[in-house]
Structure 1
Amino acid sequence: MSLLITGGTGYIGSHTVVELLNIGKDIVIVDNLSNSSTLVLERIKQITGKQVTFIEADICDAGAMEQVFQQHDIEAVIHFAGLKAVGESNEIPLNYYQNNVSGSLVLFETMARHNVKKLVFSSSATVYGEGNVSPLDETMATSATNPYGQTKLMVEHILFDLAKSDPQWSIACLRYFNPIGAHESGLIGENPNGIPNNLLPYVAQVAIGRLPQLQVFGDDYDTADGTGVRDYIHVVDLALGHVKALEKLADISGCTPINLGTGNGTSVLEIVNTFKAVSGRDIPYAIVPRRAGDLATVYADASVAKALLGWQATRDMHAMISDTWRWQSQNPEGFSNQ
C-alpha cells in the first residue's frame, strides 16, 4: 500500500515526504513541476537513502489521475498540489480556481471511485479572513479576502459536504500559519519562482545578495515595534504534523479542521534582526505603506492539534532562521543553476 502525495516536490510536500520515508512509508508523488524541480527527488534520496515513485502529471488531468489510482495501490492521500501566492491570485484568479478547486474535485472524484477515503488536505489560516481576533481557533467563522484564500475555503466546504454525504471519509483539514525554515541538511528548502511572495525567502535572498533590500509593509501597527506579527512555524514541525494527522485519520470521523502553528507571534523586524544575527549579513530594508487587508497580529490557538494529534511545534525561531540560512547559503540560486 502506498501514500499518494500531490505536490510532493514542493516546499512543504518535499519535507513531508522525507518524514514519511523516515518511518518506512511507500510514497507515490504526483506533481506538475510548475513551482518545483526534479532535483528535489535526488535531494530526498540523499537525505533518506530511499527512492520514491514520481509521476509528472497535473491533478486537473482526470485521465492521468485515473491512471495513477489504477496502477498503484493507494491507501491514503496528502493533498498539497495547488497555486499559493496571494498577490498572484488577484491577478490571475481563474488559474487559481481552475488549479486549486477544479483540480481538487478531479482528485476527490478519483479517490471516491477507487474507494480511497482517507485524506489530509493542505489548507491555510487565510480561511479565518479579517474578522477574527488572535489566537485563532477552529470554531471561528471563516471567510476570505483574496482568490487564493477563497480556493482553500471552497475546497474545505467541498470536503465538509463530502464527509456529511458519506461517513466513510476521514479527512483532516490542516490550516497552516506561516511555514519557514528548511531541512537541517540544507539540501531542500523553499525555492520560489521569481520574486518571493513570503517574508523569509525574501529576507534570505537579500542576505545572500540576490535582492537589494526588503520592503516592510507598514511600521504603524499596534504591535511592540509597529510591524506585523505572524505565527511562524518550522516546515519540519509542519511536516511532522502531517505524519501525525495521517496516523490519526482512523480516529477522525468526517472532516476536521486543525490549526498547525506555534501559538506565538513574531514581528517582521524581530525576524530581520534574528536573521542578521544568525547570518552575520546586513539586511537593508525600507518601510513602505501597509498592504490592503493585512492585519496587525495573526497567530494560532494550536490546542486542538495537541489534543487530537498529540502534536506541537518544538523548533524555535533561532532554529527556523538558522535552517533557512543554511539552505540559502548552500543553494544561493535555489535549484535553478544546479
Structure 2
Amino acid sequence: MHSTILVTGGAGYIGSHTLVALLEDGHRVVVLDDLSNASPAALARVGEIAGKPVQLIRGDVRDGALLDQIFAMHPIDCVLHLAGVKAVGESVANPQKYFEINTQGSLALFSAMQRAGVARAVFSSTATVYGAPEFVPLTEAAALRPESPYATSKLAVEYMLAGFARAHSWRAINLRYFNPVGAHPSGRIGEDPLGEPANLFPYIAQVAGKRRQILSIFGNDYPTADGTCERDYIHVCDLAAGHVAAVNYLLNHAMPGECPAVNLGTGQAYSVLQVLAQWQATCGFDIAHQIAPRRAGDVPSYFANPAGAQSLFGWRARQDLARMCADHWAWQQQNPHGYNAD
C-alpha cells in the first residue's frame, strides 16, 4: 500500500525530480514550498511527466500553524524535508538567515510532526558537513568539520533529527548529498538558479547557451591529475531515486529510534577540466573558458564512498558523466531562460 509523502521544498531543483520519482513509484505527494527559489511551473511540468497533478501548499516551513493544518488535513506517512537555503558564500555574509530558515525551520517542522504523530523523516543534508577532508573517498564515519554557516546549519539539523528519533522512536535518515547535476531526460525540469550560478554545471550550461560569456576555472595548480579541483557529481535523477529508496526503507524496514547518516554520491571524482571536456564533446563546440586565481576554501578533491547507501537500502548511482552533461544540456537548450517562459 503506497503512502502519502509531505515534501518540503518540493518545487526546487532536487525536489521536482524527487516528486517525479515518488509519483512513478506510486506514492502520493503533498508539496509545501514558499516559492522563494522555485517556480510553480516546475510542479506543473512534474504533473505532465508523471501524469498526475501535484498539490502545492504555498507557505513557510517555519509556520507552525500552517504545518498543524497540513498534518490535520492530510494522512502524512513520511516527511521528506528539502526546504532550505543553500549558498555557502551567502551564509558567510548572512549567517542569521541560514540558522533561521534551515535550523529553526527544521525545528518547527519536527515539532509539528511530533504533535501530529508523524514519525518518519528524510532530511536533505550535505557533504559539506565534512569540511576539508583528511582522506578521500569520504565515508559517513569521517570527521565532521563544517566550515560555513550553511554547513553548520545543516549539521545542527542532523543532530536535531537524530535527537527526535531517539526520544520519540522515529524512523529517520540524514542524506548527505555530494554535487547534484543534470536534469530529467525529458528536458522539462532542471536547474534554474536565480542570478549568477554558484555551481559548475549550470555555469557551463549558460556559457554554452550564450547567456554568459566565459567560464572561469579557479586554479590549475592543485595536487590532482590535471591541476584542477575534483568533485563527485551525481545525476539529479539518481539522487531522486536515492530519496525514494530512503523513504521506502523508512516505511518498510527501519527500526524505531534509527537515524543514520548516508552519503549519496557516485564514488567517482571528476576534475573541472574533465567536466569541461565532456561538455564540449556533448555540445560539439568549444566552450569559452579561462584560468582564474584559486578561490578561498576550495579543496583539491572531494568525493564519496557510497557503499553505505547500497548496504542500507540498496541504492547506487547509475548515470555517468556523459549522461549528466547530455541531460543538463538538453534542459538548457529547451529552456534557455529557465522557467521564465512559463
Runs of 4+ in 1 over 6 A off after TM superposition: none
- Alignment partner for residue 163 of structure 2, among 161, 164, 177? 161
> Aligned to 2:77, what secondary structure does the other structure show?
strand
Encode CA deviations 1:169-195: one digit per residue, 9 max, x unaligned.
111111000000000000000010000
CA contact (8 A) 1:215 1:287 kept: yes
Q: 2:23 aligned with 1:21, yes or no?
A: yes
- Alignment partner for residue 107 of structure 1, among 106, 109, 116? 109
Encode CA deviations 1:70-109: one digit per residue, 9 max, x unaligned.
1111110000000011111112211111100010000000
Amino acid corresponding to residue 10 of structure 2 in structure 1: G
Partners of 1:98 and 1:283 lie apart in 2 by 39
Q: Kindly report which structure 2 residues correspond to 1:229-240, keeping only aligned pairs within 5 A, or say none.
A: 229-240=230-241
Partners of 1:187 and 1:29 lie apart in 2 by 19
Amino acid corresponding to residue 43 of structure 1 in structure 2: R
Partners of 1:11 and 1:304 lie apart in 2 by 24
> Aligned to 1:185, what secondary structure does the other structure show?
coil
**Unpaired runs of 5+ in structure 2?**
none
> Aligned to 1:236, what secondary structure does the other structure show?
helix
User: What's the counterpart of residue 217 of structure 1?
Assistant: 218
User: What's the counterpart of residue 183 of structure 2?
Assistant: 182
> Aligned to 1:140, what secondary structure does the other structure show?
coil
User: What's the counterpart of residue 285 of structure 2?
Assistant: 281
Partners of 1:100 and 1:202 lie apart in 2 by 25
**Unpaired runs of 5+ in structure 1?**
none
- Alignment partner for residue 258 of structure 1, among 250, 259, 262? 262
Q: Kindly report which structure 2 residues correspond to 1:32-71, keeping only aligned pairs within 5 A, or say none.
A: 32-71=34-73
> Aligned to 1:121, what secondary structure does the other structure show?
strand
- CA RMSD in angstroms comes to 1.0
Q: 2:17 aligned with 1:2, yes or no?
A: no
Partners of 1:138 and 1:269 lie apart in 2 by 28
Q: 1:161 Cα deviation (Å)?
A: 1.9
Encode CA deviations 1:122-157: one digit per residue, 9 max, x unaligned.
011001111431100011121211111111111011
Q: 1:307 Cα deviation (Å)?
A: 0.8
Q: 1:288 Cα deviation (Å)?
A: 1.4
User: What's the counterpart of residue 204 of structure 1?
Assistant: 205
Partners of 2:8 and 2:326 lie apart in 1 by 28
Partners of 1:132 and 1:114 lie apart in 2 by 42
User: What's the counterpart of residue 300 of structure 2?
Assistant: 296
- Alignment partner for residue 307 of structure 1, among 306, 311, 333? 311
Partners of 1:158 and 1:49 lie apart in 2 by 36
Amino acid corresponding to residue 174 of structure 2 in structure 1: C
Amino acid corresponding to residue 13 of structure 1 in structure 2: G
Q: 1:215 Cα deviation (Å)?
A: 1.3
> Aligned to 1:259, what secondary structure does the other structure show?
strand
> Aligned to 2:260, what secondary structure does the other structure show?
strand
> Aligned to 2:316, what secondary structure does the other structure show?
coil
Q: 1:64 Cα deviation (Å)?
A: 1.3
Q: 1:281 Cα deviation (Å)?
A: 3.3
Partners of 2:316 and 2:107 lie apart in 1 by 31
Q: 2:328 aligned with 1:324, yes or no?
A: yes
Could you tell me the TM-score, scaled by structure 2's length? Answer: 0.97
Partners of 1:215 and 1:119 lie apart in 2 by 39
Amino acid corresponding to residue 64 of structure 2 in structure 1: A
Partners of 1:282 and 1:92 lie apart in 2 by 37
Partners of 1:122 and 1:132 lie apart in 2 by 24
Partners of 1:207 and 1:131 lie apart in 2 by 32
Could you tell me the TM-score, scaled by structure 1's length? Answer: 0.98
User: What's the counterpart of residue 79 of structure 1?
Assistant: 81
- Paired residues, what number? 337
Q: 1:274 Cα deviation (Å)?
A: 0.6
Partners of 2:46 and 2:339 lie apart in 1 by 13
